[in-house]
Amino acid sequence: MTKIFAHRGSKVDCPENTLSAFKKAIEVKADGIELDIHLTKDGEIVVIHDETIDRTTNGTGQVEDYTLAELQNFDAGSWFDESFKQERIPTLKEVFELLMKENFTGQLNIELKTDQKEYAGLVAKALALQLAYQLPFEIVYSSFNPTSLIEMHQLDQNQQLAFLLEKEEMFGFNFGDVEILTYHPGYELLEQVEEFNPTGLPLRVWTVNEQQHLQDCFNRQVEAIFTDDPKTALALRDVKK
């Protein structure tokens, strides 16, 4: 059965990549949650999609140019709805603690956002934070940047790794002895990846929102999909059981 991952949390209900969005994803019983991480000026791991804070806060500028304390002064919710004006950019630590408090036992997909900026130390810091907890849920690390996945493998060969694909030129990257457990293609690449996938790796497809595309993924029995509306996707999937 295709797993449903809440893309940046339950993004249709709450501002993306916030504690409210992750809590809502748990409430609707998503199988997994996806989020994105960057590093602050003072080396803290924060959860936000863009390299800048312009789109999802009332501030401007690069994430890496602010300390954590400075970033958390910004409003990360009012852009979505005034009722979320208390939302702040969360740390990965805060997300771990929320998921543990809410008894989440699914999979957490952490995207290493190193395809635009290298963020020296991000991979090691994420791993160290993960290992500092006894987490009741699985961690999967994904990235468009194969170097980050290789770095994670070198640090800990037990980590689950997934390669994000957004163009055909990425298909043939040679990871050597690094084991990639899943491919994460954009929906528009699904057919090409199915044809290319020589070893039959499981496919987790992003970002699938339209009903027709959801049904297509369920019919193809892909391993998982990432969606902004996990509640709707779950309802559609369960009808097809």
Give the torsion sign (CA, 225, 226, 229, 230). positive
Name the catalytic one among 38, 49, 153, 184.
49
Q: How many CB atoms sit inside 10 A of residue 129's CB?
A: 16
Q: How many residues does the chain have?
A: 241
φ/ψ region of 203 (left if φ > 0, alpha if ψ in -120 to 50, else beta) reads beta
Name the catalytic one among 7, 38, 153, 184.
7
Q: Which amino acid is at 6?
A: A
Instruction: Mark whether 213 is an active-site residue.
Output: no
Angle subtended at Cα 55 by Cα 54 and Cα 57, rounded to the nearest 5 degrees: 70
3-state secondary structure at position 185? strand
Cα 82 to Cα 88: distance, rounded to the nearest angstrom? 13
Instruction: Mark whether 184 is an active-site residue.
Output: no
Residues serving a catalytic function are 7, 49
